[in-house]
Amino acid sequence: MGATASESRPDKPDEKGLRMTATRFFSDNAATVHPAVMDALAAANHVDTAYDGDALSQSLDATFSELFETDCEVVWIPTGTAANSIILAHFVRPWQGILCYEEAHIEVDECGAPTFYSGGAKLMTLPGRGAKIDAEALKARIAGIRQDVHQVQPAAISITNATEYGLVWRADEIGEISQIARANGMKLHMDGARFANAVAYLDCAPADVTWRAGVDALSFGFTKNGAMMAEAIVFFGGSGGPGVRELKKRGGHLLSKGRFVAAQIRAMLTNDLWLDNARAANAGAATIAMACGERLMHPVEANELFVRLTAAETAKLRGAGFDFYDWGEGAARLVVSWDQDAQAVAPLAAAIAAL
């Protein structure tokens, strides 16, 4: 990843505290909260059970079980970092390892949170194209680990869908990875911070790219896609087993008014809001992609674009008010949010086309 750019850090506070929708492309973390979610928060103010004892929280298992067409155990959590870390800490013991892409969010953008939550597990990284680890490389890596107490033995594999470079894992690709996981007694985790964008792109059943393809647990992200602070830890095939709620409580993630997180998730899943929002963002990205042509460093499948731009070109775009991250030298990252559809991004697409 570029040394000077990141999804995760605006260097300085925005002095005016406000950016126009038409010009904000630095992160979907900065997107607005969807009105339906705001309404759900207001409605939840009349529920008064503490922690996760409320009916909203309790309803999540059934809601997700229906969505995924299988029994699910669901735990709401305020951040994706915590969701990823708790799942991984649940899957591995402190002396074990987690195989992942070398620029995976869990590896480069979470300050070591999965290692913290797991009590010391090691992230064991692999290269990959477009942030997808390669099945053959994965097999070779596993084969290269001596089965003794001196070397850390991996017990889980983590993939991100959509990937950190905006690509979408297909069901068969996931299946290849999950077969390797199964063959080696490992669990398969999917970081779905942009899972909605992946499903929207594939237009498939959520089950197809999760448990049917061998995924054991999903961090299902809603925050980037229209919620305020709400992610779902989803275990497929019934219960995830004991310990998950303890990890959540111990990490300080059991909110005393937890109903306000559950309410966000419920709102996002109502009337396919999660899909509509993702489709809008994907459409925005597709529009910009057409304007980028040969500049694209990766196929654009979800809502992120990695674009070759000279320093002069980035300066010109910034001069026009557009806000985005440099991605190393000669490149930039553009992220389209749920509140920026094809129409909203037209000015940026035009500006790029005019470069």
CA dist 271 to 56, 101, 163, 199, 346, Å? 17, 34, 26, 15, 27
Selected binder of its own copies within 131, 162, 180, 247 (CB under 8 A):
247
| Least distance from its own copies to the Cβ atom of residue 172, Å | 28
| Least distance from its own copies to the Cβ atom of residue 200, Å | 20
24: three-class secondary structure by DSSP: strand
Binding mask 322-351 for its own copies (x = CB under 8 A): ------------------------------
Selected binder of its own copies within 127, 182, 237, 250 (CB under 8 A):
250
For residue 184, state whether it binds its own copies (rule: CB under 8 A). no
By CB under 8 A, the residues from 61 to 100 that bind its own copies are 77-83, 85, 93-95, 97
Binding mask 97-126 for its own copies (x = CB under 8 A): x----------xxxxxx-xxx-xxxxx---
Between 245 and 308, name the residue whose CB sits nearer to its own copies.
Answer: 245
Residue found under tokens 């040394």: 3
Between 211 and 222, name the residue whose CB sits nearer to its own copies.
Answer: 222
| Least distance from its own copies to the Cβ atom of residue 120, Å | 5
For residue 145, state whether it binds its own copies (rule: CB under 8 A). yes
For residue 45, state whether it binds its own copies (rule: CB under 8 A). yes
Binding mask 148-167 for its own copies (x = CB under 8 A): xxxxx---------------
CB–CB of 227/274 below 8 Å? no
- Distance, in Å, from the CA atom of 60 to the CA atom of 72, rounded to the nearest integer, reads 9
Binding mask 254-293 for its own copies (x = CB under 8 A): xxxx--xx--------------------------------
* Choices 34-42, 207-215, 273-281, 282-290; region in contact with its own copies by CB under 8 A: 34-42
For residue 197, state whether it binds its own copies (rule: CB under 8 A). no
Between 77 and 352, name the residue whose CB sits nearer to its own copies.
Answer: 77
Q: Which helix (H) or strand (E) holds 183?
A: helix 171-183
Alpha helices (H) in 187-272, listed in sequence order: 195-202, 244-250, 259-269
- Distance, in Å, from the CA atom of 338 to the CA atom of 275, rounded to the nearest integer, reads 10
Selected binder of its own copies within 66, 237, 238, 246 (CB under 8 A):
246
Between 243 and 293, name the residue whose CB sits nearer to its own copies.
Answer: 243
CB–CB of 225/268 below 8 Å? yes
- Distance, in Å, from the CA atom of 40 to the CA atom of 38, rounded to the nearest integer, reads 5
By CB under 8 A, the residues from 209 to 238 that bind its own copies are 223-224, 228-229
| Least distance from its own copies to the Cβ atom of residue 260, Å | 5
Strand partners, 100: 125
Tell me whether residue 111 is exposed, middle or buried, using C-beta atoms within 10 angstroms of its C-beta: 0 to 12, 13 to 18, 19 or more: exposed
Residue found under tokens 């103010």: 45
Between 192 and 214, name the residue whose CB sits nearer to its own copies.
Answer: 192
Listed residue (348, 341, 342, 338) closest to 292, CA to CA: 348
Between 182 and 249, name the residue whose CB sits nearer to its own copies.
Answer: 249
| Least distance from its own copies to the Cβ atom of residue 160, Å | 15
How many chain residues are in contact with its own copies, going by CB under 8 A?
Answer: 94
For residue 29, state whether it binds its own copies (rule: CB under 8 A). yes
Strand partners, 126: 101
| Least distance from its own copies to the Cβ atom of residue 118, Å | 9
Question: Phi and psi dihedrals of 321, rounded to 5?
Answer: 100, -5
Three-state SS annotation for 107-128: HHCCCCHHHHHHCCCEEEEECE
What interhelical angle do 35-44 and 259-269 show, nearest 10? 140
Name, in order, each residue with C-beta under 8 angstroms of 217's C-beta and a sequence gap of 6 or more. Answer: 87, 90, 91, 187, 189, 190, 233, 234, 235, 236, 240
For residue 54, state whether it binds its own copies (rule: CB under 8 A). yes
